[in-house]
Amino acid sequence: MSKIITQLSIFVNNEPGRLAHIVGVLRDCGVNMKAFNLAESAEFGILRAIVEDPEDAYSRLKAKDVIVRKTDVIGVVIADEPGSIFKAADLLGRAGINIEYGYAYTGRNKAAFFLRVDDAAKAVRELECAGIELITDQEI
C-alpha cells in the first residue's frame, strides 16, 4: 500500500471532438477515472487522471497508440471547509517542497487534493510527521 499514487497524463489535441475520442478510448479499454483534471494550452491539452489500475490502464492506452505518461502524485485528505488545503500547502512550502499543480475530488468516503510535487517521498514524510492523512493507492 503506497502513499505515492500513479497518475496518468494523457495528451489531447485541442480541437473539437478530441476529448470525446480520448474518453471513448478510456471507456473501450475499461478504464474508470476516479479523479481528473484537463489543462489546456493553445494547441493541446493534458488530461491528468487517477484511475483504478494505472499500470493496466497505461498498457491498454499505449496499445491503442494514445500518448500517455505515468506521474507520481500524492493525495492529501481534506475537509469540506474553508482553508482545508492550507495546512498541507503551508507545511510543504516551509519544507522547501514545490507544488507543481493539484486538483481535488470528492470520493465515496473522503475528499482529497491530489498534488504533483518535486519530491513525493519527502512530501509524504513531512505530511505524515505533521499528522496529515494521505490517500493510499488502495483507496482509489
Q: Are residues 126 and 92 in the same domain?
A: yes
Q: For residue 5, give the nearest of 131, 129, 107, 130 by alpha carbon.
A: 107
Number of domains in the chain: 2
pLDDT tens-digit readout, 78-87: 988 888 899 9
Q: 3-class DSSP state for residue 136?
A: coil
Q: Are residues 49 and 67 in the same domain?
A: yes
Q: What is the pLDDT of residue 76?
A: 96
pLDDT tens-digit readout, 23-36: 999 999 999 999 99
Q: What is the pLDDT of residue 1?
A: 81
Tell me the β-bridge partners of 68: 10
The single-letter code of the amino acid at 35 is: A
Domain boundary among 71, 96, 122: 71
Domain boundary among 71, 87, 108: 71
- Domain of 107 in residue numbering reads as 72-139
Q: Are residues 67 and 122 in the same domain?
A: no
Q: How high does pLDDT run on average in the chain? A: 92
Q: Are residues 76 and 135 in the same domain?
A: yes
